[in-house]
Structure 1
């Protein structure tokens, strides 16, 4: 049975509320325990990355006072102090 991301996340919530071990819950749902564990690690890691991917920008006309690291999965962009906030905003809009 193919499940959507939302269905998997709902299953993880059900497991948490069930009080069962992950193995027992997966067995009860007819899911291979190893695959259940894999999907849980995978989807929750992606969810955390997405939640942490927003960065507060400085007001227009301001320069970054500290270095900044923008990271999305396996891509990193290092910005030095003094980077123009308008340039950074234009870059992010273009993405």
Structure 2
């Protein structure tokens, strides 16, 4: 039987981030930590939905250090897109528009 432990929202976020970096299946991750896979999945989905609801619609654009190929890196949550600087801003805007539909 798994013990019930109260975790704060921040503790759940950290636990979910640890899971996403672990490379383990959700079942294996939960077994190793004595967590209910079903409850873990519920908490993970709830936090993902909260993050989507709080999304401001802005993405963080990070110019990469000068290298032989310069690029722009876009990050939204756990998603990362690296584009060459030669990409048209209109193309990027259209991509963002299509992805948000």
What are the residue-to-residue correspondences of 1:7-46 with 2, within 5 Å?
7-46=11-50
Task: Identify the residue that residue 49 of structure 1 maps to in structure 2.
Answer: 53
Once residues 41 and 50 of structure 1 are traced to their aligned partners in structure 2, the CA distance between those partners, rounded to angstroms, is 14
Once residues 10 and 39 of structure 2 are traced to their aligned partners in structure 1, the CA distance between those partners, rounded to angstroms, is 16
Number of aligned residue pairs: 54
Residue 53 of structure 1 deviates from its aligned partner by 7.4
Report Cα offsets for 1:10-39 as digits up to 9, x if no partner.
Answer: 011100111100110011111100000000
State which structure, 1 or 2, has the greater radius of gyration over its C-alpha atoms: 1
Once residues 26 and 40 of structure 2 are traced to their aligned partners in structure 1, the CA distance between those partners, rounded to angstroms, is 8
Displacement over 4 Å in runs of 4+: none
Once residues 6 and 15 of structure 1 are traced to their aligned partners in structure 2, the CA distance between those partners, rounded to angstroms, is 14
Tell me if 1:2 matches 2:13.
Answer: no
Give structure 2 stretches of 5+ with no counterpart.
Answer: 59-101
Give structure 1 stretches of 5+ with no counterpart.
Answer: 55-95
TM-score, with normalisation over the residues of structure 1?
0.53
